[in-house]
Structure 1
Amino acid sequence: MRFFKFLRKPTVAAQYKGQKLKRLLDQRWTGHLDTVSVVLKSHNTLVEFLNEIATTRKGADIKLEAVGLHKAITEPAFKFLSCVMYKVLGLMDPPNRMLQAEQTDLMTAVQLIRSASSCIESLRSDAEFAKLWAESIKSSDDAVPTAPKRQRQASKSLQDYIVNESVGQRESNIEQECKRLFFNIIDSILGEMSVRFSERNSQYMSALDALDPGTKNFLDAGK
């Protein structure tokens, strides 16, 4: 993560007094949740710190990197996606911890996985998107939709006409783009869980649970 590496630089770390970011590991979801939590809670602090580095530091490399990071985290999409990941990882954290517990049997694991999938699937709605979008732009002037980068120009062939409808050029604003990303994220998570924990795999796990003498389903032929 660029942010983590930047804040770990000796000259930067000596000045940064905010909450520390954790190093991200692909196999440790809890680390991702903790990092997203810090980013959301310390967002204003991070923005101010990067702005200070960009305007007062003498090192060209440090200033250039600070400017790039400042631009990235002040984009409306950054805070929205941070809110989305915090929501998703927050839902996945309890089952993740329970699945690692020694006392969790296979049948309980199947139920946890199904419950987690159901919770994630419940996020896939316009209403949930609206909640997360409102949360991400709350108290943030940066989240106001920006004007398109490329100014629209009417076709010269239509200069002598009054156009009342779209002529085919459509550009999505930042909210529409974030909505598209939101549904893609949810679909990707559900797809990955479906592949890893398909109905057949769940049935196998339930069957293996019947071979465990310590479970109530021991030697249950129906499993």
Structure 2
Amino acid sequence: MLKKTSSFTSESRTTLKTLNPTRWSGRILSISAVKLRYLDIIKSLTEIELQSHKKEEREEASSIKKQMCCFEFVFISTMLYKIFTQVNFASNVLQKKNIDLSESVTVLEQVEKNLTDLRSSWEILMIEATALANKWNIQPEFRQKRQPKVKKHFDKLLSDYRFNNSQILFKINVFNVVMNRVLTQISNRFRSMKKINKLFDLLLPKIILS
């Protein structure tokens, strides 16, 4: 575990948060703190890397710093912030004491729609991530990964094509996978709630009163 350094002053109101896996609000607070204090985190990691007398601490600080000083980290931070914002909104609304089943379903459907829109907003996320990368003095380019060489035959099928563009690879292997998983989870977890609401909507107070 890395030690705290003097880089995080008492003057700042935003500090790094310990992730609480049982509360969605903890996730949005954690990613917000990292985004707001990014430069201080890098400064602290650099101090540990240069000044720590423990080899394990120096290696850990160097590894974390390397992972944070790349465009992949910037993009993922931007993407997760938007995902957690939507999920946290739904979580807070569903915890209201006076919420009914119909309102719950409406909120979940809106969040699902917003996340579906986010799934189609790759270009917008790229613009936002690029602006943030420039602010943090990070080259706004995905790292090029070596692709396995495939023997070429005269009857080679198009399905064997290997993408060489790092941006396309990241979109396919990370962005699409994450967004598809989030949408699938939300749809599956609340499918029963939607069915029940549809079956018994005639019993809802607002329907009876109208």
TM-score range for the pair, normalised by the shorter chain length: 0.7 to 0.9
Contact 1:80 1:132 survives alignment (8 Å): yes
Of all paired residues, the percent bearing the same amino acid is: 22
1:35 aligned partner: 30
Q: Structure 1: how far apart are the matches of 2:56 and 2:142?
A: 29
For structure 2, the 5+ residue unaligned runs are: 152-160
Encode CA deviations 1:18-73: one digit per residue, 9 max, x unaligned.
Answer: 54222223321110001101111111221122112101222211111100110111
1:204 aligned partner: 196
1:177 aligned partner: 169
Does 2:20 match 1:25? Answer: yes
Q: Structure 1: how far apart are the matches of 2:100 and 2:90?
A: 13
Residue of structure 2 aligned with 1:67, choices 62, 69, 75: 62
**Aligned in 2, Cα 1:14/1:113: closer, same or farther, shift over 3 Å?**
same
Encode CA deviations 1:109-142: one digit per residue, 9 max, x unaligned.
Answer: 01111111011111121xx212212222221442
Deviation at 1:189, TM superposition (A): 0.9
Deviation at 1:187, TM superposition (A): 0.9
Contact 1:211 1:218 survives alignment (8 Å): yes
1:9 aligned partner: none
- SS of residue in 1 equivalent to 2:99: coil
Counting matched residue pairs gives: 193
1:77 aligned partner: 72
Q: Structure 2: how far apart are the matches of 1:152 and 1:194?
A: 36
Amino acid in the other structure paired with 2:43 = E
**Aligned in 2, Cα 1:136/1:147: closer, same or farther, shift over 3 Å?**
closer
1:42-121 equivalences in 2 (<5 Å): 42-121=37-116
Contact 2:17 2:33 survives alignment (8 Å): no
User: What's the TM-score, normalizing by structure 1?
Assistant: 0.75
Instruction: Report the aligned-residue RMSD.
Output: 2.8
Contact 1:106 1:206 survives alignment (8 Å): no
Residue of structure 2 aligned with 1:143, choices 129, 139, 142: 139
User: What's the TM-score, normalizing by structure 2?
Assistant: 0.79
Encode CA deviations 1:175-204: one digit per residue, 9 max, x unaligned.
Answer: 223322112111111111111112x53131
Contact 1:209 1:218 survives alignment (8 Å): no
Contact 2:75 2:129 survives alignment (8 Å): yes
1:217 aligned partner: 207
Deviation at 1:93, TM superposition (A): 2.4
**Aligned in 2, Cα 1:107/1:76: closer, same or farther, shift over 3 Å?**
same
Does 2:185 match 1:189? Answer: no
Q: Structure 2: how far apart are the matches of 1:206 and 1:113?
A: 14
Q: Structure 2: how far apart are the matches of 1:150 and 1:116?
A: 37
Q: Structure 1: how far apart are the matches of 2:137 and 2:17?
A: 28
- SS of residue in 2 equivalent to 1:176: helix
Q: Structure 1: how far apart are the matches of 2:162 and 2:198?
A: 54
Q: Structure 1: how far apart are the matches of 2:144 and 2:110?
A: 41
Q: Structure 2: how far apart are the matches of 1:133 and 1:113?
A: 26
For structure 1, the 5+ residue unaligned runs are: 7-11, 156-167
